[in-house]
Structure 1
Amino acid sequence: MTSRSKEQRILVVMRKLLAQIVRDTTPGPGVRHPLSEQTIKDIRDCFSLIAARERELIEEAGIENKDRPHFADKPQTSTVLKFKPPPKKSTDDD
């Protein structure tokens, strides 16, 4: 999916805009949030609807989405090993 449809671009812009609004309005510790509880719930619902539609579009395009959130503080479940092949044996006939 190299070129996004108009709907996909709209969804991306809306998700980014909502995230920016949340960042801009989030108060410091101990300060009451300027948005009402209902507005916060509505924003969460919008994020859910956007994510659901993005999943539908990916499925309709036949793309398998294996992306999952990755948390930096979660221990890794696998270890990467460096592999150095052994030197090639010479083919000298003595």
Structure 2
Amino acid sequence: MNTTTAAQAADGPASSSTSTGPGLQRIPKGKRLRGESAAQFTRDVITAYKTMPIRDICEATGRSYGAIHHLLATNDVAMRPRGFQPQSSADQADAS
């Protein structure tokens, strides 16, 4: 018996994308995400943006800068200023 859900059938086989780090999947070029796959990818990208720059997310997922930026902007994620460099814990200790 085939236990494939409708969302999996629309997205194709689950093995077509590969894991590339902290919850991010590398999406093959030209593949469109739909349904639960798209929702999970969005959640993963939003989570990754808390610690990674957009360009690193692009490299990890195989998606363009514009696609990742659009995904974040349409989900009301507060964008960091251009050139933002997070302070390391050592820098914060020096400031005290």
Confirm or deny a common fold (TM above 0.5).
no
Q: Which has the higher contact order (CA 8 A, sep 6+)?
A: 1
- Normalising by the residue count of structure 1, what TM-score does the alignment of the two structures yield? 0.29
> Which protein is bigger by CA-based radius of gyration?
1
The structure with the largest strand share of the pair is 2
The structure with the largest helix share of the pair is 2
- Normalising by the residue count of structure 2, what TM-score does the alignment of the two structures yield? 0.28
